[in-house]
A and B are shown apart, each in its own frame.
Chain A
Amino acid sequence: MTANFLIGLREGLEATLIVVLLMAYLTKSGRRALLPRLWAGVGIAVAVSVGFGALLTFGPRGLTFEAQEAIGGGLSIIAVGLVTWMVFWMARTARTLGSELRSRVDGVADGAAWGLVLVAALAVGREGLETALFLWAAAQASGESGTPLFGALVGLAVAAGLGYLLHRGVLKVNLSRFFTWTGVALVVIAGGVLAYGVHDLQEAGILPGLHSLAFDVSAAVPPSSWYGTLLKGTLNFSPATTWLEAAACVLYTIPVMFFYLRANFRPPLRRAEAPAATAAVAS
């Protein structure tokens, strides 16, 4: 029961965090009208995952293990690309918030609709297939032994609840700080997602180095513990991390964070310079 709860919680957090932060961003910047697009992406991902999961479980054909890992890993890496793009899009629009450029910015946000749908779909979808397979298995088992499905669903619900609380909490934060920190959080999470994607591809044998570990702290942070679960769910932190994962994470997070902070901490009030700065970010 507890273990199944933790699986649900972890997978739920992995899937929702990015969506929650983007949601908070849209709300905060007064673009609630775009929220349905985010939800549409989530809906698509859930529907596709559940359907695909059912097909793989009950249909005549299943996916090879390499294919499953390659899809999970591939989606993770594409998701990182898109989230990065979103983060800079946010940085750019946040800077011009409240200025006379607002209407133009909204136009840009309109254009990013596809991106929003896609980010949401990828953020949820990359974990969706695995979660759906697990839930179908749990549903099959729930007749015979206790309530594994119940545990998993409670875990998912708690993840959603935590997401909601985070969303509410984040909304209370003061505006300028909010924009910086959601971005920072997204970059950190994306770094973890990238490492996770790399790991999947290593397991599939597409990338090498599965057994060259940079560190292994699984004795101190057991993956099945609640804190291991939270670290994995929020930051995609793996207690046994390969060199390639670590390198991918560091090589992504540090430069992206640098450019992100530079884009954010330029003095925002010198209006004459603003367009030039945004151009630099956009290129």
Chain B
Amino acid sequence: MPGFSSPQTRRTVGARLAVVAATAILPLALSSCTDNAGANASGTTDGPIQVTSTDAECKVSAAEAPSGNLTFAVKNDGAEVTEFYVLAEDGLRIVAEVENIGPGITRNLVLTAPAGKYITACKPGMKGDGIRADFTVKDSGKQATVDADLQKLVDTGVSQYAAYVKDQTEQLVAGTKEFATAYAAGDAAKAKSLYAATRMHWERIEPVAESFGDLDPKLDAREADLEPGQKWTGWHRAEKDLFPPAGYKALTAAERGALAKQLVADTAELSTRTRTVELSADKLGNGAKELLDEVARGKVTGEEEIWSHTDLWDFQANVDGARIAFENLKPVLQQKDAALAKDLDAKFSALQAELKKHAKGDGFAYYNELGKDEVQKLSSLVDALGEPLSKLTAAVVL
């Protein structure tokens, strides 16, 4: 009868399926082993890092570790089942996890972690974002030497920066919405309080944002730089309205609404477009330099935020963006030009330390509160950093 294949063929189907299953799983299993650290003598770790998860706390015995194999011994001292995650710096990508840790049980999580920033999280009850903490993996000095590894380091750095850009744009979109809502509703006090902090997310990723020639002027044009006939939209238009100079005629509610709407729409567009931007090591290096040039051109002079005087927020954000790009390239740079890496480290720290002197609460002093010599000091540190930073791209790419 035609409907039935013979027992023979059925048997081969089954056997074939078994072979397919085995070939799919075996190589995967064999190629993805990792050393069970702690027990063996390869010796990059001094025993496991102890994690104690309770229903309300997630205690990690160390906040940093040298790169190489890491072992977290995760003990559940709570009453609920818990999970432990090591997340990438963006807080989204799972680097490693161990699930199903019942009360009273200790389970080990072993991973090979390159130097960088991570987030640890316990998830008692297996839901929500978990109880998070920052975790740093420091370079243990065990350096990769072959070219293939170098390329891997470059790729890792670039993808870390892409994650950073994604994270910043997400926060920018959310912050802009909140700002625009308050501003459109005429809640000037709230809008003012959100203005500088929200713009920081923009300023951190400015080189990427500026690669879209049409969006940058729509979002960030200053009145002084307007071309004849150009319609003025974006942050600084709202800034002037929120921090009005003498004799300024305020926008009507309708005009405010339209401006807020435009700001949100342009930011959303920016966010969509950054998702498909191709990043590369040279873009990171050049972007870092551009950010510092921005500081020298606009922030240290107080021109950027001529009405709100919140230039130091932008200053800090530009430096953040430049430093993250540098740090993502650092593993490569350390192999190609260790001296330059050291120099940049020192100069970033010096500038950051000086900037920190002007911190106030969550933010900074206003630009017009700075003394002339204070500005001078900042300016010279920016110049001092700019010089070695201009060599970063060439050192990494060539």
A-side residues, CB < 8 A to B, are 1, 3-4, 6-7, 11, 56-57, 59-67, 70-71, 74-75, 78, 81-82, 101, 104, 107-108, 110-115, 118, 122, 130, 133-134, 137-138, 140-141, 144-146, 148, 151-152, 203-205, 210-211, 218-219, 222-224, 239-240, 274-279, 282
**In contact, B97 and A65 (Cβ under 8 angstroms):** yes
Q: What distance in Å separates the Cβ of A232 from its nearest Cβ neighbour in chain B?
A: 10
Nearest B residue to A104 via CB reads B4
Total A-B contacts with CB atoms under 8 angstroms apart: 172
B96 interfacial by beta-carbon distance below 8 Å? yes
**In contact, B105 and A63 (Cβ under 8 angstroms):** no
**In contact, B11 and A64 (Cβ under 8 angstroms):** no
B371 interfacial by beta-carbon distance below 8 Å? no
Q: Note all chain B residues with C-beta closer than 8 A to A211.
A: 92
**A6-B81, A108-B10, A205-B93 are known contacts. Are A145 and B17 too (CB-CB below 8 A)?**
no
**In contact, B35 and A60 (Cβ under 8 angstroms):** yes
Complex-state Cα separation, A141 to B33, whole angstroms: 25
Q: What distance in Å separates the Cβ of B3 from its nearest Cβ neighbour in chain A?
A: 4
B127 interfacial by beta-carbon distance below 8 Å? yes
**In contact, A71 and B25 (Cβ under 8 angstroms):** yes
Interface of B is mostly: mixed
**In contact, B17 and A66 (Cβ under 8 angstroms):** no
**In contact, A74 and B128 (Cβ under 8 angstroms):** no
**In contact, A152 and B33 (Cβ under 8 angstroms):** no
The 7 A-B pairs with the shortest beta carbon distances in the complex, nearest first, are A114-B14, A111-B10, A67-B32, A4-B102, A275-B3, A218-B127, A111-B7
**A211-B92, A275-B1 are known contacts. Are A141 and B17 too (CB-CB below 8 A)?**
no
Q: What distance in Å separates the Cβ of B49 from its nearest Cβ neighbour in chain A?
A: 16
Partner pick for A145 among B35, B95, B104, CB 8 A cutoff: B104
**In contact, A62 and B9 (Cβ under 8 angstroms):** no
Q: Note all chain A residues with C-beta closer than 8 A to B5.
A: 108, 282
**In contact, A82 and B3 (Cβ under 8 angstroms):** no
Q: Note all chain B residues with C-beta closer than 8 A to A277.
A: 3
**In contact, A118 and B40 (Cβ under 8 angstroms):** no
Q: What distance in Å separates the Cβ of B321 from its nearest Cβ neighbour in chain A?
A: 23
**In contact, B33 and A62 (Cβ under 8 angstroms):** yes
Q: Note all chain B residues with C-beta closer than 8 A to A274.
A: 3
**A65-B111, A137-B107, A275-B2 are known contacts. Are A224 and B80 too (CB-CB below 8 A)?**
yes
Q: What distance in Å separates the Cβ of A265 from its nearest Cβ neighbour in chain B?
A: 18
| Interchain residue pairs with CB less than 8 A apart (26) | A59-B36, A60-B35, A62-B35, A63-B32, A65-B95, A65-B97, A67-B32, A67-B33, A70-B28, A81-B17, A104-B4, A107-B6, A108-B10, A111-B6, A111-B7, A115-B17, A118-B18, A130-B99, A218-B126, A218-B127, A239-B127, A240-B127, A275-B3, A275-B4, A276-B3, A279-B2
Q: Note all chain A residues with C-beta closer than 8 A to B97.
A: 65, 203
**In contact, A78 and B94 (Cβ under 8 angstroms):** no
**In contact, A62 and B34 (Cβ under 8 angstroms):** yes
Nearest B residue to A146 via CB reads B104
Q: Note all chain B residues with C-beta closer than 8 A to A101.
A: 1
Nearest B residue to A130 via CB reads B100
Q: What 0/1 readout, one digit per residue, does chain B (9-42) give for beta carbons within 8 Å of chain A?
A: 1110111011011001100110111111001100
B8 interfacial by beta-carbon distance below 8 Å? yes
**In contact, B21 and A78 (Cβ under 8 angstroms):** yes
Q: Note all chain B residues with C-beta closer than 8 A to A60.
A: 35-36, 39-40
**A75-B25, A138-B105, A223-B126 are known contacts. Are A205 and B94 too (CB-CB below 8 A)?**
yes
**A3-B80, A78-B21 are known contacts. Are A279 and B92 too (CB-CB below 8 A)?**
no
**A78-B20, A111-B11, A118-B17 given. 8 additional CB < 8 A pairs?**
A61-B33, A74-B28, A111-B9, A111-B13, A114-B18, A134-B102, A134-B107, A278-B3
Q: Note all chain A residues with C-beta closer than 8 A to B10.
A: 108, 111-112, 115
**A71-B28, A223-B127 are known contacts. Are A61 and B35 too (CB-CB below 8 A)?**
yes
**In contact, B7 and A108 (Cβ under 8 angstroms):** yes
**In contact, B13 and A115 (Cβ under 8 angstroms):** yes
Partner pick for A223 among B20, B32, B125, CB 8 A cutoff: B125
**A62-B35, A114-B14, A138-B105 are known contacts. Are A122 and B93 too (CB-CB below 8 A)?**
no
